[in-house]
Structure 1
Amino acid sequence: MVKTLALLALCATVAVANPIVLVKADLINNSGKTYQLQVDTDNRSCICLKNTQTAKILNRDAADMKLFSTSDCTGNFSQLGKGKTQINAQWVNSVSMGKSGVPSIGPYGCPNYFNR
């Protein structure tokens, strides 16, 4: 019992010491509807947007965000700086954001984020 309590206390301490930090970006469609993407800052995620109508993309706090015309974060990209907005973003079919210098994981599907 004492070992179990000690293990639980240790797990709780680690969880408090290492909280998950998210980076965020907003997708805004032509009618002004907004959907917020959230990605764990310790990883790098590729998110498919080809089925989501995007007029603007606002990079809230991702230090490294790349915009791709492909749906799988490959090929040429445009960098979107932290706090910057990409207008006329209809050409963007995927975004990669999160930790810099590591390969992207995903995408895992390609939903329409405004029809969820």
Structure 2
Amino acid sequence: MSMEITDNAKTSKCLGNTGSEHLETEKCERLTRLPIARIRTLVKADDDVSIASQESIFLITKATELFVECLAKNVYKVMQGQKRKTIYKKDLDSIVETLDEYAFLEGALE
């Protein structure tokens, strides 16, 4: 499992690797935006959930976007430290092993 970083300049800006505080916020947000309708479908697929308000779906979506963004930033740092343009599964594994906040993912990528 690997993922090639194709637009390195745009990715670097969105992942916070520039010194500038004026990032292209809208473009960066589009890179990490999840479709609310898809999240709603996933939530409704859970038998334990009978009703989910629009606000709860929005919060779940936003929390997921922020989680993925944080994870991507950490993996990107590992990848950059090794001077590569490709993200491998071993990069995710090293993040899960080294950072306590991702300990709950232990074994999830198997």
Question: TM class by shorter-chain length?
Answer: under 0.3
TM-score (norm 1): 0.22
TM-score (norm 2): 0.22
Identify, as 1 or 2, the structure richer in strand.
1
